[in-house]
Amino acid sequence: RDLERNGVATKEDISNLIERGKGKMPGYGESCAPKGACTFGARLDAEEIDALATYVLDRAAVDW
């Protein structure tokens, strides 16, 4: 419910959020831009973002 309430209802939505960030949450994608909106540490590649999005959806399905 929390995901849907925040407009994040699909795996693609979650992946985009992880990649680009939102608000004060930085993006973690390798190609995240602009500077300052992304993490300054290690970035996640597409496969890692996909795995993380799958994990989030799986956990949400069992109500965390």
Distance CA 23, CA 62 (A): 27
Lookup: tokens for 36: 């300052």
Do the Cβ atoms of 21 and 10 come closer than 8 Å? no
At residue 39, the pLDDT reads: 77
Cα 23 to Cα 28, 57, 63: the distances in Å are 13, 21, 25
The tokens 């979650």 sit on which residue?
Answer: 14
Q: Which residue range is the domain that position 28 belongs to?
A: 1-61
Return the CATH number at 5.
1.10.760.10
User: Is the pLDDT reported for residue 23 higher than 90?
Assistant: no
Digit-coded pLDDT (tens) for 33-43: 776 778 777 78
- Calculate mean pLDDT across residues 2-22: 89
Question: Among residues of the chain, what percentage have pLDDT more than 70?
Answer: 97
User: Is the pLDDT reported for residue 51 higher than 90?
Assistant: yes
Distance CA 19, CA 38 (A): 9
Report which of residues 11 and 9 the model is more confident about: 11
Count of domains in the chain? 1
